Structure 1
Amino acid sequence: MQRTSSADDIASLFKVTYIDERSNARLQEDVTVYAWGLFLQSIEERDVPVTFAELLTFSTGWDQIPPCGFAKEIDILFYNQESDSTRLPFVSTCGLQMWLPRNENPESLSRLLLRAVKESAGFLKV
């Protein structure tokens, strides 16, 4: 990235799209959002082997924040993790959307996001 980014800078690019607050799933989404915040802090503190540039590339196709910003905030949406398989977080770079699994504890979400970012083909890598 051309300028130093903080966890707060990156977090401000995302908008969480919650399910109805009366749903049991909402509590699970709150846990995931908390874990997401801790993941961003761990990148800032260099506690995980991923950079904000890599996370942005995975999320948007850009390795830095464009000078005029993005067309919109990146939507964080949620999905249920199936009990018999592991589904990694995924994105739509065109739609600026990221899906995270509901009810993931910080360590679990961190592992899943690390795998998703590091194992994705990425742009211009194929």
Structure 2
Amino acid sequence: MLIVALCRPADDSVVVEVGGELDAFNCGLLAETLGQAVARGTGAVIVDLARVDYFSAAGLHCLDQAAEQAAAAARPMHLVCAADGAVLRVLRAAGMSARWSVHPDVEQARLACAAAAFG
């Protein structure tokens, strides 16, 4: 079961919280939500994947497409991944862990976004 929620914290970033199993059968929900996140606001899109238990290649493809949309809208995309979680293992195995800024929690991602905006 996949759970996806779109949140808007106090600043101009948008956080997409994801939990459960992400595979080819349900990645459309994540793709739709990421598209909404990119369309909102002007700040960074933070994708919180820390509570994802299973992450397939379809999830990787979904993130890749969202990153292209975010780049076209001049919006940085940051990922939150558990250090020992499924998402980071797949990103590393695919050689894509350096493609995005990866953070251990949403607060660290928000701090990085703020530093980049003022840096």
Which bracket does the TM-score occupy, shorter chain normalised? Answer: under 0.3
More strand by share: 2
TM-score, normalising length: structure 2: 0.26
TM-score, normalising length: structure 1: 0.25
Higher-Rg structure is 1
